[in-house]
Amino acid sequence: MAFVAIVLGGCGSASEPSPPTGVDGLEIPTPGLTASDFVPRIDNRWLPLVPGTEWVYQATSSEGEETITVTVLDETRKIGGVTATVVHDVVTDADGELVEDTFDWFAQDTAGNVWYLGEATTEYDDGETSTEGSWEAGVDGAEAGLAMAAEPRIGDGYKMEYLRGEAEDQAAVLGLDATATVPFGSFDGLLETEDTTPLEPGLVEHKLYAEGTGLIREETVEGGDEVVVLVSFTQK
């Protein structure tokens, strides 16, 4: 689920990474894994990933309910030449059983853009485990993806991750003035994105981000019925 589905799972393949159809590509080149291109702290206003920060979400769908706990750890991981911030996602079902356990890696460049550098994920299902969907930038053709631009613009489209046939999520900025109420509170001036993947062409998600908080709501508008809402948020 990679930071409350910052990315989507899927199957299939695409010939080349590309922005969503019908929007302009974001003019931010994918960075090389060079330490001098990045800064130690992720303080992007739409996606602040400060160690000690924790989000708790409730996910509801026709298949049941899940709790998603996302914690920014006081740990780092070297991805190529970049020191990445480690984010831990834990998904449990309504009975408290572990569904997914993921470590995500993010880094912010000198311009303030946050990059997604990969994940190590394990899914649990009836005693079986799977690490499908794990990837790391610079390994086996995988490329860093843009998790959040420093200054999102309506119409921007960008890839959020890329490993052919495994991780090909992409997003488009729909608006900057959405409103929403979730269990944690009411918000306005929200960033709204539409997330898709060529690996699951019928799947479309809309996500809302609040300044200083990050993701507050996610809804599958095509190809499913899941709604994810922010229940609590704590930050050091």
For the stretch 127-149, pLDDT in tens is 899 998 899 999 999 989 999 99
pLDDT at 95: 93
pLDDT at 4: 55
pLDDT at 190: 98
Does the pLDDT of residue 122 top 70, yes or no?
yes
- Number of helical H runs and strand E runs in the chain: 1, 16
Tallying the residues shown for the chain, one arrives at 236
User: What percent of the chain has a predicted confidence (pLDDT) above 90?
Assistant: 72
Does the pLDDT of residue 7 top 50, yes or no?
no
Q: 2-10+39-234: what fold?
A: YmcC-like fold (2.40.360)
CB within 8 Å of 96: residues ≥ 6 apart:
none
Q: Which of 43-47, 151-155, 189-193 has the lowest mean pLDDT?
A: 151-155
Burial class (CB in 10 A: 0-12, 13-18, 19+), 171: buried
pLDDT at 11: 28
- Which backbone phi and psi does 3 adopt, to 5 degrees? 50, 65
Domain boundaries, given as residue ranges, for the chain: 2-10+39-234
Q: Are 230 and 213 in contact (CB under 8 A)?
A: yes
Q: Which of 31-35, 58-62, 198-202 has the lowest mean pLDDT?
A: 31-35
